[in-house]
Amino acid sequence: MRPGTAAPTPKRQKCDHWTPCPLNTYAYRLLSGGGKDKYAKICFEDELLMGEKTGNVGRGINIAIVNYMTGKVIATQSFDMFQGDNSGRMIDFIQSAPSKSLLFMVTHDDGAGRLKEDAKKVIEALGSKQIRSIQFRSSWVFLTAKGLKLPEEIQRENINHSDNARNRYSGWPAEVQIEGCIPKKPS
């Protein structure tokens, strides 16, 4: 590079991916909360569905439901798992998702304290391998679908616990994420 010339600014990709998703795919990024002030985020097709800027993310398990066929958000909801009895409401919300829906779940702060067994069973039935190991303040993200099969190569879940060496927030776990591209046509 010649002196005085700057490198070109990299082109921003959907949901801040490093590389663009192929044609006929949806871009997504799920980011759990991390520490006290790092809020969870759910991004789909470059739209922030849940996060601090949208004002709809909260302590507990945050869920966004998206219509797979149209790519449009159906509903978002936060379920506080530290106070109150919200497992039943969360089950109803998950079960209200119509067939051919994508469900995105992320924790912020505590997603386990009042998470009841029946709620764990519902999430486990959707394919979660980690819901039973979620602990106080675990950082957890999960992607699933109802009424369609996602490709096997898509990373669907990630977890970090407050006792993990990867932590940098004084007893709070660091955030975890998954991102990728979902084919628009069912496999």
3-state secondary structure of 5: coil
- Tell me which long-range contacts 34-37 makes (C-beta under 8 A, separation of at least 24): 34/139, 34/169, 34/172, 34/173, 34/174, 34/175, 34/176, 35/168, 35/169, 35/170, 35/172, 35/174, 35/175, 36/109, 36/169, 36/172
| 73, 64 Cβ separation under 8 angstroms | yes
pLDDT at residue number 91: 97
CA distance 109 to 157: 17
**The length of the chain, given as a count of residues:** 187
pLDDT at residue number 166: 55
**Average of pLDDT values for 63-72?**
97
* Both structure tokens of 125: 């039935």
Residue 161 pLDDT class (50, 70, 90 cuts): confident
CA distance 108 to 76: 15
Residue 185 pLDDT class (50, 70, 90 cuts): confident
Whole-angstrom Cα Rg for the chain:
17
Please write the tens of the pLDDT for every residue from 7-38: 666 667 899 898 899 999 999 999 999 877 78
Domain limits of the chain?
Answer: 14-183
pLDDT at residue number 57: 94
Q: Is the pLDDT of residue 171 over 80?
A: no
